[in-house]
Each structure stands twice: as structure tokens, then as C-alpha cells.
Amino acid sequence: MSTSGQPQFRYTQTPSKVLHLRNLPWECTEEELVELCKPFGKIVNTKCNVGANRNQAFVEFVDLNQAISMVSYYASSSEPAQVRGKTVYIQYSNRHEIVNNKSPGDTPGNVLLVTIEGVEANDVTIETIHLVFSAFGFVHKIATFEKAAGFQALIQFTDAETASSARNALDGRSIPRYLLPDHVTSCHLRISYSAHTDLNIKFQSHRSRDYTNPYLPVNPTAMEGLMQPVVGPDGKKQEPQSNVLLASIENMQYAVTVDVLYTVFSAFGTVQKIAIFEKNGGTQALIQYPDVTTAAVAKESLEGHCIYDGGYCKLHLSYSRHTDLNVKAYSDKSRDYTISDPSLLATQVPAAMQAQPPAGQVPAWDPNLQARPPYGSVPGTFPSQTYQASLIPTYVNAATPAGSSPYSQPGVSSMRMPQPGVNVRPGGAPVPGQPPYYGQ
């Protein structure tokens, strides 16, 4: 028993070569622990400043008998173990060795984990990161990514010494202002060591780079992000433009097919490819134009408009990172209008779509149809209509509202753009006895 009145030991515990020390002074150092324990044997590991009050520690001896010797000594001694005049309470630990004495971020290595605080992913390019860190030695590889902690990068050097010099010089510092966009007000580097030793870079892109392998394939789509983002007059980043639009469609009360999207988007130029897909419970589509200018005009004109009257199938458009879509030439979810061989198209037409329509009806889609006028009414159920408008059922079998057409906006009358040869009367209604006509 110690003179302090509190037992120093727990006698029921199984002996272990790892001892648990309590009631240590604040910020007790490793040197102080070793000084206390070394008379009883060789210390192979320590773990300091643990617990809520940082007043506990673990000490591991090389041999179990050495730990037992220390416990036995202070159990029978009239003088308790002390550090800086404070009584230290000692007991066997439940663990048999100390692991992870140092966190991975404190163990020197050749790869640094850099967290760039105060920026978004596109604010700092991979070229800027390379420029800053290559000042300390040859940078082999860089990989950037986004985590809960923010925008981060893994930077691989030749050896741990080079990585350490970069960390010591840059940790807590800021990237020079002239290397950052004007709207970035603060940017600080928080650097630790990574457990990685050799990064696996699969291709060169704006997010990853391998400076040791000039033959590594380049991802052309991903390389779009190499340019610094354009900042508008309001100080906000402007979206990088692309020839491919990403359309999100909300309030889907009626089916939106590939043909419907072609009718809407071809009003502004040649549509090369279309792909429809489901994401996050909603319907989205990719529409590819031959150039960025055409896509920009279509985006500006169609953003926020509805395909059908009454606020149905509202379009929200943004630029895609894609530049050339890889889609099936013809399916119910995709179309490649750059393929001119009708036989190639015919081989991909589902059997259900090849079925002949009932007598007296007009097929909704003609595989031999190579061109259509830029704009016209989408086939739907109109008053006095007697033909089948589409072989693909609409949502909940709802009929298209009377008079609905592509490119409308809530509160705004439908915008129709008749072309030469289109069978429409003023107001957009079809000629009696004839269905809407898209051209040959």
C-alpha cells in the first residue's frame, strides 16, 4: 500500500509485460517514463498522454519478468512511484503489447497526405501542387481526391528524407496567392505522412499524374479540368463548357423518349448522340452536339423550360465532362445519329419495335428516317386523334395533355417552330385527318 492511502496496484490482474500508469503529471514525456522504469529492465515501447485528461501512459518491457519486478518492488516499497513529485499508480495492462504508438501521420515516409484547407477541388490544379512541392525534390506521382476533411492530395517523393523536408517547410503554410484564383481568400496546407509507399496511377488526368511514366495513357475527358476555372463578374466560378449537355428532367408525368429529346434539342443544331439513364431516383440524359457553341445556345435557350405544357418534364441543363459518348446505335435508351448505315441500325432494333403497327396507324418511329426538321409537336393524344402516337407507354398510362408540345414553360404558351412541309395549322393543331408530320 502506498502512503497516499490509495492502492497502487490491482492484484487480481494477470501479469503482462505492458504496464498501465495513472495519475501522471500533465504532458508527461517519454523520457520521464523511461527514467522511472529503466531500473527494472529494457523499455521497448511507450504510449504517453492517453485518457481524457492526458495523465495516463503505457510502458512495454522487453520481458514479462521485468514488468513483474517493477510491480513487485513498488507493491512492497514504502515509497510510491513518483514523477515530478506526483504519486503514480501502476497496474498490469490488459494488452500484451503496444501497437500504433505513433499514428500513421507521424511515421516518416516518402508519401505525403496534404489537406488543402479553404478551397474547392477545382481551385487548385495538379500543376500548382506539383510546382509547390517539386521545389524540395523530384515528385514521382500525385493523386488528388475529395474527402470529408476537404480537398486532399497524395504526393510521392523519392525517399522519406525529401518528403520530410517538404513537410517541415510547408506544413501550416499557404500556397502563394499568385498561384490561386482571385476568389480564393485563404488556403492553408495541413500535411502528414501517408502509409502508402508507391501510388498506383492508372492514367494521366487533371486528378492524377505519374511523372515517371511518359507512356501512361491519357484520359482525354478527365484532362478537361486542367484549365483554371473561369470566374464571372460576380466572383463565382463559371461552369466549364462542353459539347455534351447533361439534362435532368423533373416532374415526369409523361414519358420522355429518345425521339422526344431529339425533337427538342435538334432545334438548335445537329444532335449526334443521346443517352437516357436513371440516377438518384430521377431521369437524366446526355445530349451530344458537334461543338461547344451549339451546346451553349441550346443550354441557354432550354434551361428551365418544360417539354410539355403545364410544367411537365422540366429541363435543368448543365455541361457534362464527356466529349464523345459511347452509346448503342439504336435502343430505347440511346441513339447514335452519326451512323449512316441503316442495316447497322436495324440489327439493334428490339423485336417489339420492329412490329408493324395496326392497319390505318402511323408508326411512331421510322428506322429509315435520317433527318427531321429542327422542331415540331411531339406525337401525343390530341382531340379527334385516331392513330397510335407511340409504342412506348407513358407514365401511369397518362395521355399527353391536349395541345402539349415540346419546349414549353409554365405560364408561357408552347413555342412551336413549324418547318417547311410540316402538317400543322396556325396554333399548332394537325391538319384534320392527318397526324403530325416530321419529314422524310
Q: Is the pLDDT of residue 373 over 60?
A: no
Q: Is the pLDDT of residue 154 over 60?
A: yes
pLDDT at 427: 41
Q: Is the pLDDT of residue 400 over 70?
A: no
pLDDT at 216: 82
pLDDT at 49: 81
Distance in angstroms (rounded) separating the CA atoms of residues 343 and 87: 91
Task: Say which residue, 188 or 349, is predicted with more confidence.
Answer: 188
Query: Is the fold of 18-92 the same as that of 244-336?
Result: yes
pLDDT at 309: 84
Range of 160-169, 186-195, 336-345, 424-433 with top mean pLDDT? 160-169
- pLDDT tens digits, 291-346: 999 999 999 999 999 988 888 899 999 998 788 888 887 888 899 998 875 555 44
Degrees, nearest 5: CA angle 219-249-326: 30
Q: Domain map of the chain by residue range?
A: 18-92, 111-220, 244-336
Range of 34-38, 158-162, 181-185, 371-375 with top mean pLDDT? 158-162
Coil, helix or strand at residue 105: helix
Q: Would you say domain 18-92 falls under CATH 3.30.300.90?
A: no
Range of 100-109, 236-245, 319-328, 364-373 with top mean pLDDT? 319-328
Task: Say which residue, 11 or 128, is predicted with more confidence.
Answer: 128
Lowest mean pLDDT across 30-44, 138-152, 233-247, 283-297: 233-247
Coil, helix or strand at residue 104: helix
pLDDT at 67: 92
Q: Is the pTM of this model over 0.85?
A: no
Three cell numbers at 213? 511514366
Q: Is the pLDDT of residue 280 over 50?
A: yes
Question: Over the range 209-241, which residues count as b (16 or more CB within 10 Å of their CB) and which as e?
Answer: bbbeeeeeeeeebeebbeebbeeeeeeeeeeee
Architecture of the domain whose range is 244-336: 2-Layer Sandwich (3.30)
Q: What is the mean pLDDT of residues 419-429?
A: 39
User: What is the side-by-side strand order in the sheet with 244-250?
Assistant: 306-308, 312-319, 244-250, 282-288, 273-279, 334-336
Q: Would you say domain 111-220 falls under CATH 3.40.710.10?
A: no
pLDDT at 117: 87
pLDDT category at 20 given cuts 50, 70, 90 is very high
Average pLDDT over the chain, rounded to whole? 74
Task: Say which residue, 383 or 279, is predicted with more confidence.
Answer: 279
Lowest mean pLDDT across 257-266, 396-405, 421-430: 421-430
Contact 337, 272 (CB under 8 A): yes
pLDDT at 160: 93
Q: Is the pLDDT of residue 422 over 80?
A: no
* DSSP summary character for residue 4: T
Q: What is the mean pLDDT of residues 217-234?
A: 55
pLDDT-above-90 percentage for the chain: 32
Q: Is the pLDDT of residue 133 over 90?
A: yes
Distance in angstroms (rounded) separating the CA atoms of residues 47 and 221: 49
Lowest mean pLDDT across 197-201, 218-222, 334-338, 359-363: 359-363
Q: Is the pLDDT of residue 426 over 50?
A: no
Lowest mean pLDDT across 155-169, 200-214, 295-309, 354-368: 354-368
Alpha-carbon distances, residue 43 vs 56, 95, 173, 420 (angstroms) = 17, 16, 37, 93
DSSP string, 111-125: EEEEEEET--TTTS-
